[in-house]
């Protein structure tokens, strides 16, 4: 099986790229990631102004001991651009076949900042450059980050500056935010300005709530907090929706990012049509070696279907994502209980009674579905802790 893919003329040995973030904070770290098997890495975003991070900048939601959602109020790279340029050179020398992607942010109206950073990255040897139009904290207050990605005119203008400067030849990939009313409008704006691809998505604006014992918000910076970026598994459905919207209009290849923690997650983004899949939070939680597990899972998925290359299933699922009105109104299912697996816990009964159609009753301690009256909503199927319920088509 071959996991190699090409994106915007650049060859990746596999689809897995470290997203810009703490795992790409410096060249030593990226070297270890490359040794572990990542095909590429997006460096932590460069900015010309000094970066002083807040302390206590993360908050999480856990289910049991597993982190399912993550919030951060981290700023951009603490390293100076010149230090990064030196490090990019070293990285590319040591790993000529790995892909190093620059990531830059400037002021919305400062063409010179964007050009300086892009040229610096290009001269150092990056293969592609991401434009950070999407960081949701710290920078939008100053008109940068997601403030740019929420404004078609600025997204287009900045992309245009880089694409019309004849000295800049590496592919330019704006990284977009999902926090817009319609991400395809931003896509069109950067496409017209000449973007070579798109990365979607960055973290989503969020608050993680309070510690109810201390009344401190999370993450607490001396007792206060500010909205920050949401990432990790809980972000995946939003990222999938954005990628689906973006690939509907072919032309600009999409790098997917958001909530990937397994090769199965990656398979879903590739099915939608994104050949490259970036990962940040999962690496923060599991380390670089998680890429081996992710590759094994993707290969396993490919084996189930007889796919031997990424191209065999790239975009295969997207035609199944339809407009609401295009779905079959005559398609019908009813709930069916497998009593061999049922523990009689009543969870399905309670959900159907209080949020469904009152078609499940308990008889002799076990649920019985009135299938003639069942409206096929599937709530019972989802709440059953024993996988004892299936939704069965009434057709034929
Ligand atoms: C702590 C943290 C710092 C991040 N810093 C950056 C950054 O400097 N530049 C950037 O483009 N994205 C940054 N991101 C966003 C990630 O690259 C990625 O878009 C987002 O976390 C969603 O992917 P994930 O669910 O795999 O983490 C950061 C994310 C986290 C969690």
Q: What is the pLDDT of residues 160-215, one digit of tens each?
A: 999 999 999 999 999 999 999 999 999 999 999 999 999 999 999 999 999 999 99
Joined tokens for residue 273: 């049509």
Task: Compute the radius of gyration of the chain from its Cα atoms.
Answer: 23
Place of tokens 């990937």: 260
What are the two backbone dihedrals, phi and then psi, of residue 11, each rounded to the nearest 5 degrees?
-95, 125
Q: Where does 5-320 sit in CATH, by number? A: 3.20.20.70
Q: Residue 255: CB within 6 Å of ligand 1?
A: no
Q: How remote is the CA of residue 377 from the centroid of ligand 1, in Å?
A: 36
At the topology level of CATH, where does 328-393 sit? Alpha-Beta Plaits (3.30.70)
Q: Residue 334: CB within 6 Å of ligand 1?
A: no
pLDDT tens column, 23-43: 999 999 999 999 999 999 999
Give CATH 3.20.20.70 domain extents, the chain.
5-320
Q: What is the pTM of this model?
A: 0.97
Give CATH 3.30.70.20 domain extents, the chain.
328-393
The model's confidence at residue 1, banded by pLDDT at 50, 70 and 90, is confident
Q: Residue 177: CB within 6 Å of ligand 1?
A: no
Catalytic positions, written as ranges: 135
Beta bridge partners of 392: 334
Q: How remote is the CA of residue 109 from the centroid of ligand 1, in Å?
A: 24
């Amino acid at each position: 099986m071959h996991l190699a893919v090409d994106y915007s003329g650049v060859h990746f040995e596999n689809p897995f790229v470290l997203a810009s973030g703490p795992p790409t904070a410096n060249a030593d770290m990226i070297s270890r990631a490359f040794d572990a098997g990542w095909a590429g890495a997006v460096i932590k975003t460069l900015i010309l102004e000094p970066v002083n991070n807040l302390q206590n900048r993360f908050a999480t939601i856990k289910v049991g001991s597993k982190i399912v959602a993550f919030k951060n109020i981290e700023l951009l790279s603490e390293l100076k651009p010149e230090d990064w340029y030196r490090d990019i050179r070293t990285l590319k020398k040591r790993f000529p076949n790995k892909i190093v992607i620059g990531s830059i942010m400037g002021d919305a109206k400062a063409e010179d900042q964007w050009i300086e950073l892009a040229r610096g990255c290009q001269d150092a040897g990056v293969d592609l450059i991401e434009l950070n139009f999407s960081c949701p904290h710290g920078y939008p207050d100053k008109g940068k980050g997601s403030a740019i990605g929420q404004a078609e005119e600025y997204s287009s203008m900045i992309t245009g500056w880089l694409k019309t400067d004849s000295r800049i030849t590496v592919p330019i990939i704006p990284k977009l935010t999902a926090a817009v009313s319609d991400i395809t409008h931003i896509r069109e704006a950067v496409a017209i300005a000449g973007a070579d691809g798109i990365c979607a998505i960055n973290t989503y604006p969020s608050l993680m709530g309070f510690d109810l014992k201390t009344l401190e918000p999370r993450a607490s910076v001396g007792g206060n907090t500010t909205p920050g970026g949401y990432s990790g598994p809980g972000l995946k459905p939003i990222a999938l929706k954005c990628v689906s919207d973006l690939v509907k209009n072919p032309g600009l290849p999409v790098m997917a990012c958001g909530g990937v923690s397994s090769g199965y997650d990656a398979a879903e983004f590739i099915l939608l049509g994104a050949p490259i899949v970036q990962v940040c939070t999962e690496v923060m939680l599991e380390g670089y070696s998680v890429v081996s597990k992710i590759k094994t899972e993707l290969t396993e998925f490919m084996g189930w279907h007889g796919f031997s290359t990424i191209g065999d299933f790239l975009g295969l699922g997207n035609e199944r994502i339809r407009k609401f009105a295009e779905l079959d109104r005559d398609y019908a299912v009813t709930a069916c209980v497998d009593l061999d697996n049922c523990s009689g816990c009543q969870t399905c009964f309670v959900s159907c009674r209080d949020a469904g159609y009152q078609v499940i009753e308990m008889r002799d301690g076990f649920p019985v579905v009135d299938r003639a009256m069942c409206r096929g909503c599937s709530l019972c199927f989802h709440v059953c802790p024993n996988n004892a319920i299936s939704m069965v088509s009434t057709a034929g």
